[in-house]
Amino acid sequence: MARGILLTANLPQLQNLIKRDPAAYKEEFLQQWNHYNSIRQIFQINPDEQAQHFRELVTFISQVAQCYPKETAEFPTHLSTLLLENYGTLVPDTRKTLVQNLVMLRNKDVITSIDLLKSLFPLLPRTTSSTLRAFIRKTILSDIRTANIKSKNHKLNRAVQAMLFNMVERGMEGEVQGDKGKLRATSGPTSDGTANNGEEAMWAVILTKELWRKRIWTDAKPVSIVALGCFHPVMKVQSAGMHFFLGSDEDKVDSDDEGDDRPDVRSLHHVHEINKTTRSATKKLRKQLTSAKKKHFKKPDISAANFPALQLLHDPQTFAEKLYDLLNRYDKRFSLEHKIIMMQLLSRVMGAHKLCVLGFYTYIIKYLAYHQLRVPSILVALAQSVHDLTPPDVVTPVIHKLAREFVHPGVGSEVIAAGINAIREVCRRQPWSMEEDLLEDLIEYRKSRDKAVTAAARGLLQLYRDVNPGMLKRRERGKDAAMGIAKGTQPLQFGHSADAAVDIDGLALLEDHLQQQRAGDGDKMEEDEEAAWEGWDVESDSEGSDSEEWMDVDQGGEDNLNISDSEDEADKPSGSKPTGADADATPAAAPDPDRISTLATTKILTPADFALLNNLRLEAAQKAVETVGGSKHKRKLATLEANKKAMLTGQSADSFITENDILGPRKKIKQDYAARVASIEEGREGRDKFGSAKGKKNKEAPSSSTNREKKRNKPMMMIIGSKAVKSKKNASLHDKQRRLRKHIDKAKKSH
């Protein structure tokens, strides 16, 4: 009897014994289970009564639930129902205990991931505790990531994506109210009885973005969830979804959850003043303050758009039309910042998929003024929306508006440069939108005294020398353009496409390079070709591909393809270049422009070959600039370098432009904090960390100067107020005599 009372009163001891021998202590567990059921009924009526004892029982049963699966089959349902139905009446400690025990049951495989996530998802928008919210968020992400480590868990992913989609879809019928984006009261309460203010949809977008960023979800379904969030009535949900496609993290997900990463400076100082001051505590405080300062001045990375997500959009034309309709309908309700975000997203979708939303150009005209706030971002959005399939008659009024507002003597040089650069970027994508008279007026600004205006006008002139020199006067066409017109070369009209490509630019350079390698060491080249696909192969998603075999092809017959890379002259194509001494006859920097390489018809080019081809083209362009010179070769070299840089960053060089492309070269402006710190650090290079090197370099035994030596070099005005000078000045005659006698005696002893 005493033993039973002791065991039932000491739950940790009973828990330990049950884990060792569940069958021997089943009666004691059933006694606690019955006690739990009675306490649970009382707790549902009055949550404040016996709350501590109830939490202890819940923790105990969660620890041993896997030992008695039949008896505790309904236990996870009890916890989930209690959390979802009575969350508002529970005290914070009870909420935290219930959530932690649900996670424990999942870790012990008592419940599945889907059961756990169904209980945790509704809690995110309802909890007010930043600690609990961060714990729930971390649990959700880690559980989904763990389930997809070895292979994609499609069942779990489909279930979670359906839950997230429903979270976003609820509340979509509301109407936007002002910049805050709150729903009207008529939108109705949600299933938990609270008004829908977009928190549920916001968390769905946040979690989807995080799973995409961690490369757990990479298909079109998470993109569809975020795309739906772009049209949510709540403005902060719209902003979060749009920032996902723009590739920026400026939207504030949850400032409370990031509190651990951003220390409070005031609280750090307060704790340091209260606690005992020690050297280690002061050093720790200084380190925390330095870290907080770095995070404060750290800027978000908004340099590149989320191009894969833009490409995975389902029905981008409908997405763009709905986005424009939302922008046009609520133009007076949205703030300027939010409208610019919508313009940027709409323009990038239009440029990436070559869409035509003609109403956008009529809408954006009213924002094309030099005094408009954030006008560089608006000009960037305008330029990105234009492409070669945009009708020229729609873009021509926009160019006229830019010329009237930005390019005239009544504005500053920076405004003129920005206007001409914007016109150049638009015309680079659709050259037929420019008129000859306007082009003639704009290129006259190349005679300006301002460097930025001159560069902008010359850029516009060079653009039309390349794409349509017939619109220029004869003296402005340049040598190459004039020769092209003399040969009868004409630009393609709007709607016409170029002829089929017959060669790859620079492929002759690669062919010559491979032939030189083959002449030097053919065996090594074959090994390199076999290893060229390493790191470039795409994994197959199909199952059972290992069982597939190659089909045998007859060796004979006239239709047999010859794809051999033999060194014999008989196997070489007729258009290939000779090897050996003949290969060096033509320099690599100046290949024959009329030569058509047949390398692509005799060899399967690997990604490594294309990378080598780009490097060879870049080397050839550099040699051409060094030997021949000229602006044509310099422009080609700059274009190749820009393409190489764009390939390294993972986006096309012509996909998106920045505000710097619109503003052009500017005069030196005031540096920001990061630039000033970089300049200071650059000036400190090669310098000792502390103190002066005066005494350390000029002495046999390196040491710093003494305080007395430093005192001698101080100016009088710095020490005139010191105690030593004042005491000497106000000393009595007796004190002066004593000081003088002391000095004389010391001098005699030294001699």
The pLDDT tens digits of the residues spanning 699-727 come to 667 677 778 777 777 777 777 888 888 88
Residue 292 has pLDDT above 50, yes or no: yes
Return the residue matching tokens 């650059």.
Answer: 682
714 is a domain residue: yes
Q: What percent of the chain has pLDDT over 70?
A: 78
* Cα distance between residue 675 and residue 297, in whole Å: 11
Region 297-326 average pLDDT: 81
Residues 40 and 135 in one domain: yes
Distance CA 9, CA 3 (A): 10
Mean of pLDDT over the chain = 81
Write down the residue that tokens 């030196």 correspond to. Answer: 668
Report the pLDDT averaged over residues 1-29. Answer: 79
**How buried is 181 (Cβ within 10 angstroms: 0-12 exposed, 13-18 middle, 19+ buried)?**
buried
Take residue 413 and report the two structure tokens written for it. Answer: 């040089």
Q: Which residue has the higher pLDDT, 643 or 143?
A: 143
State which of 487, 508, 536 marks the end of a domain: 487
Last residue of a domain, one of 454, 487, 520: 487
Helix, strand and coil content of the chain, in percent to the nearest 5, comes to 60, 0, 35
Q: What are the structure tokens assigned to 515, written together?
A: 């032939």
Q: Are 470 and 493 within 8 A, CB to CB?
A: no
Domain membership of residue 255 (yes or no) is no
Q: Do 413 and 467 belong to one domain?
A: yes
In a domain, residue 445? The reply is yes
φ/ψ bin of 495: left (φ > 0), alpha (ψ from -120 to 50), beta (otherwise): left
Q: What is the mean pLDDT of residues 2-19?
A: 74
Is the pLDDT assigned to residue 301 strictly greater than 60?
A: no
Together in a domain, 51 and 138: yes
The answer to whether residue 492 sits within a structural domain is no
The single residue listed with the structure tokens 């200084």 is 286
* Per-residue pLDDT at 181: 47
pLDDT given at position 146: 93
Q: Are residues 353 and 227 in the same domain?
A: no
Instruction: Specify the range with the lowest mean pLDDT, choosing from 160-174, 554-568, 590-604, 649-663.
Output: 554-568
- Tell whether 318 and 423 lie within a shared domain: yes
Q: Which position has the higher pLDDT, 649 or 85?
A: 85
**553-572: average pLDDT:** 41
Residue 559 placed within a domain: no
Same domain as 242, residue 361: no
Reduced to 3 states, what is the DSSP secondary structure of residue 67? helix
Q: Rounded to the nearest 5°, which phi and psi values hold at 182? A: -85, 150
Q: Is the pLDDT of residue 691 over 60?
A: no
**Which stretch of DSSP H or E encloses residue 599?**
helix 599-602
b (16+ CB within 10 A) / e for 334-352? beeebbbbbbbbbbbbbbb
**Number of CB atoms found within 10 A of residue 100's CB:** 16
Domain boundary among 472, 487, 502: 487
The pLDDT of residue 488 is above 50: yes
Which pLDDT score is estimated for 313? Answer: 95
| Residue with token string 């001159």 | 454
Q: How does residue 435 score in pLDDT terms, banded at 50, 70 and 90? A: very high
- Give me the number of domains the chain comprises: 4
**In terms of residues, how long is the chain?**
751
- Enumerate residues 6+ apart whose C-beta is below 8 A from 37: none
Confidence band of 262 (pLDDT split at 50, 70, 90)? low
Burial level of 489, CB count in 10 A (0-12/13-18/19+)?
exposed
> Using an 8 Å Cβ cutoff, are 105 and 65 in contact?
yes
Q: Is residue 516 part of a domain?
A: no
Residue 121 or 485, more confident = 121
Q: pLDDT above 90 covers what percent of the chain?
A: 45
Q: Under DSSP, is residue 177 helix (H, G, I), strand (E, B) or coil? A: strand
Q: What is the residue whose two structure tokens read 């651990």?
A: 260
Residue 591's pLDDT band (cuts 50, 70, 90) = low
Shared domain for 735 and 646, answered yes or no, is: no
- Tokens found for residue 533: 């696909």
Query: Same domain, yes or no, for 319 and 432?
Result: yes
Across the range 137-160, mean pLDDT stands at 94
Claim to verify: residue 16 and residue 152 sit in the same structural domain: yes
Structural domain includes residue 364: yes
The H-assigned helical ranges of 472-506 are: 479-486
* Residue 726 Cα distances to 730, 731, 736, angstroms: 6, 8, 13
Q: Check whether 242 has a pLDDT greater than 90.
A: yes
The dihedral through the CA atoms of 605, 606, 610, 615 has a sign that is negative
Distance from C-alpha of 671 to C-alpha of 679, rounded to nearest angstrom: 10
- Whether residue 716 sits in one domain with residue 633: no
Query: Looking at the predicted structure, is the pLDDT value of residue 63 above 60?
Result: yes
Would you say residue 187 has pLDDT above 90? no
Output the pLDDT for position 559: 44
| For range 479-503, the mean pLDDT | 77
Name residue 748's beta-bridge partners: none
Strands (E), 168-313: none
Position 139 scores a pLDDT of 95
Mean pLDDT of 299-328: 83
Same domain, yes or no: 356 and 230: no
In a domain, 142, yes or no: yes
Whether 195 contacts 187, CB under 8 Å: yes
pLDDT at 250: 47
Query: Average pLDDT, stretch 532-555?
Result: 46
Query: What confidence tier does 697 reach under pLDDT thresholds 50, 70, 90?
Result: low
Three-state DSSP state, 27: helix
Domain that holds residue 651: 603-666
Whether 167 shows a pLDDT value over 80: the answer reads yes
- For residues 317 and 370, state if they share a domain: yes
Q: Which two tokens stand for residue 663?
A: 């503003």
- 334 vs 193 pLDDT, higher one: 334
The top-scoring range by mean pLDDT among 29-43, 243-257, 568-582 is 29-43
pLDDT value at 277 more than 90:
no
Does residue 632 or residue 11 have the better pLDDT? 11
Least confident segment among 157-161, 197-201, 569-573, 718-722 = 569-573
Judged by average pLDDT, the poorest of 137-146, 417-426, 446-455, 590-599 is 590-599
Q: What is the pLDDT of residue 566?
A: 36
Looking at per-residue pLDDT, the higher value among 78 and 672 belongs to: 78
**How far does the chain reach from its first CA to its final CA, in angstroms?**
102
Higher pLDDT, 369 or 530: 369
pTM here is: 0.71
